[in-house]
């Protein structure tokens, strides 16, 4: 497949009408991006890639795994990474490469010369590059998904200090076993670190509770108790209260309060703090 | 077999467990402790397990047993410094410590015993108050 003269022909073909090709290419690629990138930005990107591609083609190599295409591959990886981060769809990303094919076909058709062999070679080469882009695109997507699930696990379980000796964990969203486990460990660690004797688990933001989650909550409370701290559960929604009773889950002697405010007041009392309203502001 | 030392501070006995316990040491500790409470007349027992990283059901039951023994001598038991991992293990094992009191650290444990001890002193004070009245009349 490596035929230096042919390689030069293809490179020459592209180089000869570079400006026209790039303009048409950018036009085709831009139409699918629906204005999420400016045309100038796209023009800069594609122009850079075009130059690198023509350089690689002029070496005569037609295998994108060759060293000659190293720069082109890096550029494509960068391109697909930014596209994936910006939330472009796979086909919107790949079309950036495939649009060049159409631009070249149109050029050859218009010229009427029979660049048939070059076209076939270029076509399969661009297919390979397109696939390369796509592969990298999906890899980046997977990275993003993994990152996000990790962040979710870490960020959504803060342990906050409400008062000297009173900690709270406001839970938001869906609770599953893995998350409840993280909550449990974080809360218990925080109890040891801060020496707080009162903890509040607030589940106002929790939309659903099943037997497993309830079980985990109970375990957390029991574990805290074993360590010498007291745990209050607050913010049970009406539907959740019905579910808990319907499922026959026994909360036993665990203190539950309707709102976080009630739980805080309870915790303060247990910690020996009195909250007193001032009778007169101007005293 | 290593024997766990039992220290006496005022009327409190302090058991600080620094090594991972074998079943034999646990049994020995229970015997020693019963002996010491009876001989010293201590009113409180503090078991510090902040250095214990691994527990099994046998050790889990030890706390309840020691508490029951102590209660026969009218002494309160407080387990202090339990690590989160240990607490989770005990809960997963389905063990409850029964009547055993717990505290986050030694200082808080001693405070708990002081509070409980204060109840005793109040009773004594009431008795002392009664006597002078009788002496007056």
End-to-end C-alpha distance for chain B, whole angstroms? 63
ipTM of the complex: 0.71
Residues 21-40, chain A, touching B (beta carbon < 8 A)? none
For A102, the 3-state DSSP assignment is: helix
Residue A159 in contact with partner chain B when CB distance is under 8 A: no
Three-state secondary structure call for residue B10: coil
Q: What is the pLDDT of residue B137?
A: 44
- Taking alpha carbons only, the member of A223, A230, A240 closest to residue A200 is A230
Among B11, B88, B21, B75, residue whose Cα is nearest residue B48? B21
Interface of A with B in 176-195 (CB under 8 A): 184-185, 188-189, 191-192, 195
Residue B114 lies in a domain: yes
CATH number for A160-270: choose from 3.40.50.300, 3.30.750.24, 3.40.50.970, 3.90.110.10: 3.30.750.24
Tally of structural domains, chain B: 1
Print the SS3 string covering chain A: CCCHHHHHHHHHHHHHCHHHHHHHHHHHHHHHHCCCCCHHHHHHHHHHHHHHHHHHHHCCCCCCCCHHHHHHHHHHHHHHHHHHHHCCCHHHHHHHHHHHHHHHHHHHHHHCCCCHHHHHHHHHHHHHHHHHHHHHHHHHHHHHHHHHHHHHHHHCCCCEEEECCEEEEEEEECCCHHHHHHHHHHHHHHHHHHCCCEEEEEEEEECCCCHHHHHHHHHHHHHHHHCCCEEEEECCCHHHHHHHHHHCCCCCCCEEECCHHHHHHHHHHHCCCCCCCCCCCCC
Architecture of domain A4-150: Orthogonal Bundle (1.10)
Please indicate, yes or no, if residue B18 is contained in any of the structural domains: yes
Chain A residue with Cα closest to B101: A228
Q: What is the pLDDT of residue A114?
A: 63
Q: Where are the beta strands (DSSP E) in chain B?
A: 6-9, 12-16, 44-48, 76-80, 101-103
A99 or A191: which leads in pLDDT: A191
Going A96 to A102 to A105 to A110, the CA torsion angle's sign is negative
More confident residue, A199 or A40: A199
Q: What pLDDT does residue A263 have?
A: 93
User: Does residue B54 lie in a domain region?
Assistant: yes
Q: Which of A142, A48, A133, A146 is nearest to A97 (CA)?
A: A133
**Residues from B in contact with A at Cβ < 8 Å:** 79-80, 82-84, 86-88, 90-92, 96-97, 101-105, 108-109
Mean pLDDT of A208-216: 82
Contacts of B92 in chain A (CB under 8 A): 219
What is the pLDDT, as a whole number, of residue B79? 92
pTM: 0.61
B1, part of any domain: no
Asked if B102's CB is within 8 angstroms of A226's CB, the reply is yes
Are A225 and B102 inside 8 Å of each other by CB? yes
Residue corresponding to tokens 């919107």: A92
CA distance B48 to chain A (A): 11
Residue A172 pLDDT: 83
What are the residue boundaries of the structural domains of chain A, listed by start? Answer: 4-150, 160-270
Round to whole Å and give the CA distance between B113 and B44.
6
Per run of 10 residues, the mean pLDDT along chain B (length 137 residues) is: 86 89 87 90 91 86 87 90 90 81 91 82 54 49
Please answer yes or no on whether B105 and A195 come within 8 Å at the CB atom.
Answer: yes
The domain in which residue B71 lies consists of: 6-136
Strands (E), chain A: 160-163, 166-173, 198-206, 230-234, 255-257
Q: What is the CATH number of the domain that holds B52?
A: 3.30.750.24
Nearest CB to B88: which of A184, A191, A228? A184
Residue A262, CA distances (Å) to A204, A269, A271 in order = 13, 11, 14
Confirm whether B121 is domain-assigned: yes
């Amino acid at each position: 497949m490596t035929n230096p003269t042919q390689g030069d022909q293809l490179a020459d073909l592209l180089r000869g009408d570079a400006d026209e090709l790039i303009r048409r290419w950018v036009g085709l690629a831009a139409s699918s991006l629906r204005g999420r990138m400016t045309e100038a930005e796209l023009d800069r990107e594609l122009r850079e890639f075009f130059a690198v591609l023509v350089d690689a083609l002029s070496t005569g190599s037609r295998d994108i795994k060759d060293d000659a295409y190293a720069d082109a591959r890096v550029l494509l990886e960068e391109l697909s990474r930014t596209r994936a981060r910006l939330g472009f769809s796979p086909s919107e990303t790949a079309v950036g490469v495939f649009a060049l094919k159409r631009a070249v076909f149109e050029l050859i058709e218009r010229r009427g010369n029979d660049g048939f062999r070059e076209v076939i070679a270029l076509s399969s080469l661009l297919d390979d590059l397109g696939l390369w882009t796509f592969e990298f695109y999906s890899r980046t997507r997977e990275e993003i998904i993994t990152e996000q699930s990790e962040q979710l696990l870490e960020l959504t379980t803060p342990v906050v200090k409400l008062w000297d000796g009173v900690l709270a964990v406001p839970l938001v969203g869906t609770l599953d076993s893995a998350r409840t486990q993280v909550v449990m460990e974080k809360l218990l660690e925080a109890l040891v670190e801060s020496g707080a004797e009162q903890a509040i688990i607030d589940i106002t933001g929790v939309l659903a509770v099943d037997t497993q989650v309830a079980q985990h909550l109970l375990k957390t409370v029991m574990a805290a108790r074993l360590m010498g701290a007291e745990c209050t559960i607050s913010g049970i929604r009406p539907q959740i209260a019905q579910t808990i009773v319907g499922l026959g889950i026994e909360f036993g002697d665990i203190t539950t309060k309707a709102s976080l405010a009630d739980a805080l007041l309870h915790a303060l009392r247990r910690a020996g703090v009195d909250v007193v309203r001032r009778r007169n502001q101007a005293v | 077999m290593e024997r766990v030392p039992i220290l006496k501070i005022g009327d409190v006995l302090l058991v600080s467990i620094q090594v991972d316990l074998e079943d034999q040491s646990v049994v020995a500790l229970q015997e020693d402790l019963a002996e010491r409470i009876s001989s010293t007349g201590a009113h409180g027992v503090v078991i510090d397990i902040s250095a214990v990283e691994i527990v099994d059901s046998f050790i889990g039951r030890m706390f309840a047993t020691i508490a029951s023994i102590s209660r026969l001598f009218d002494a309160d038991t407080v387990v202090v410094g339990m690590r989160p991992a240990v607490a989770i293990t005990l809960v997963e094992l389905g063990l409850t410590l029964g009547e055993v009191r717990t505290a986050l650290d030694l200082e808080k444990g001693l405070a708990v015993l002081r509070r409980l001890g204060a109840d005793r002193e109040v009773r004594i004070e009431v008795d002392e108050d009664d006597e002078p009245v009788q002496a007056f009349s």
